[in-house]
Amino acid sequence: MPDKILTKDGLDTFIQKLLTDYDLYAPVLKGADHTWSKIQDSQDVAWEFANTAKSPKKFFLPQSERLLHFTNNPDDPNGMIMHEEPGPDRPKTLLNIRPCDAKAFDVLDLVFCQDEQAPDVYWKSKRDAALLIGLACKSPCPTCFCFSVNCGPHHQEGLDILLVDLDSELLVRPLTSKGEAVSADLKKAPQEAVDKADEQKTQAEQAMTSRVDMERLQERTVLEEYDQAIWDRVHESCINCGTCTFYCPTCHCFDIQDETQDEFGHRVRNWDTCMSWLFTHHTSGHNPRGSKKDRVRQRFMHKFKYMPIKLGGAIGCVGCGRCTQKCPVNIDVCEVVNSMNE
Residues 125-154 interacting with another protein (rule: CB under 8 A): 139, 141-143
Burial of 232 (0-12, 13-18, 19+ CB in 10 A): exposed
Q: Are 339 and 163 in contact (CB under 8 A)?
A: no
Shortest separation between residue 187's beta carbon and another protein, angstroms: 31
- Pick from 222, 263, 313, 342 the residue near another protein by CB under 8 A: 222
- Pick from 33, 185, 195, 199 the residue near another protein by CB under 8 A: 33
- Pick from 29, 129, 186, 230 the residue near another protein by CB under 8 A: 29
Q: Are 60 and 105 in contact (CB under 8 A)?
A: yes
Whole-angstrom Cα distance, residue 37 to residue 96? Answer: 11
Which string of x and - marks every residue 186-215 that binds another protein (by CB under 8 A)? ------------------------------
- Pick from 14, 59, 231, 246 the residue near another protein by CB under 8 A: 246
Q: Are 242 and 228 in contact (CB under 8 A)?
A: no
- Can you say how many angstroms the Cα of residue 194 is from the centroid of all Cα atoms in its chain? 28
- Pick from 3, 101, 120, 160 the residue near another protein by CB under 8 A: 120
Residue 73 or 156 having the CB closest to another protein: 73
Shortest separation between residue 190's beta carbon and another protein, angstroms: 28
Shortest separation between residue 58's beta carbon and another protein, angstroms: 10
Amino acid identity of residue 12, one-letter, is D
Q: Which of 101, 103, 109 lies closest to 127 in space, CA to CA?
A: 109
Q: Which of 312, 315, 338, 302 lies closest to 146 in space, CA to CA?
A: 315
Shortest separation between residue 230's beta carbon and another protein, angstroms: 13
| Cα→Cα distances 100→61, 197, 231, 306, Å | 17, 18, 27, 20
The reply to whether 36 sits near another protein by the rule CB under 8 A is no
The reply to whether 278 sits near another protein by the rule CB under 8 A is yes
Q: Are 318 and 304 in contact (CB under 8 A)?
A: no
The reply to whether 268 sits near another protein by the rule CB under 8 A is yes
Shortest separation between residue 272's beta carbon and another protein, angstroms: 7
Contact segment (CB under 8 A) with another protein among 119-127, 148-156, 165-173, 182-190 equals 119-127
